């Protein structure tokens, strides 16, 4: 496992053929070689990056009140933060194969929702949070 001094030693593995997240692998170029890509757990996402509560919909927001919608006033807040602090915005994505990762950064394609975190991802780094049993939990109202 590749461990990063920027992210700490919490078992993060480098993405790029070493993990099940290989579909997110990027083409190696001189520019990309400087970029670090990591896969973390949902618990690590909570502990390290600390997603903030959605104050626009405190009682209705999914993910324990932390997810922002992809439209309306909630989305306006996400876009505002993405413009000024892009490392603090994350996107829950429908992977198309049953996977539902959270990917650092603001993404429009296949998005299901957004998160804003207190801690930013370092510039140039990409972090993927693999979510276990998302659709099972979602269907149970958890």
CA-to-CA separations, 119 to 7, 44, 122, in angstroms, rounded: 11, 12, 9
Residue closest to 20 by CA, chosen among 135, 130, 132, 134 = 130
d(CA 50, CA 120): 10
Predicted structure pTM score: 0.70
Q: Tens digit of pLDDT for each residue in 66-100?
A: 999 999 999 999 999 999 999 999 999 998 888 89
Judge whether residue 13 has pLDDT over 50. no
Alpha carbon distance 46, 138 (integer Å):
18
Question: Reduced to 3 states, what is the DSSP secondary structure of residue 103?
Answer: strand
Rg (CA), the chain: 15
């Amino acid at each position: 496992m590749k461990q990063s001094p920027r992210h700490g030693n919490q078992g993060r593995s480098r993405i790029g053929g070493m993990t099940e997240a290989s579909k997110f692998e990027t083409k190696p170029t001189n520019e990309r070689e400087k970029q670090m890509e990591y896969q973390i757990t949902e618990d690590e996402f909570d502990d390290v990056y600390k997603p903030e509560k959605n104050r626009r919909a405190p009682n209705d927001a999914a993910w324990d009140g932390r997810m922002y919608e992809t439209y309306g006033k909630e989305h306006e807040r996400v876009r505002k933060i993405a413009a000024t602090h892009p490392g603090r915005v994350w996107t829950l994505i429908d992977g198309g194969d049953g996977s539902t990762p959270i990917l650092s950064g603001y993404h429009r394609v296949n998005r299901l929702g957004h998160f804003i975190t207190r801690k930013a991802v370092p510039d140039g780094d990409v972090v993927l949070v693999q979510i276990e049993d998302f659709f099972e939990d979602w269907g149970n109202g958890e």
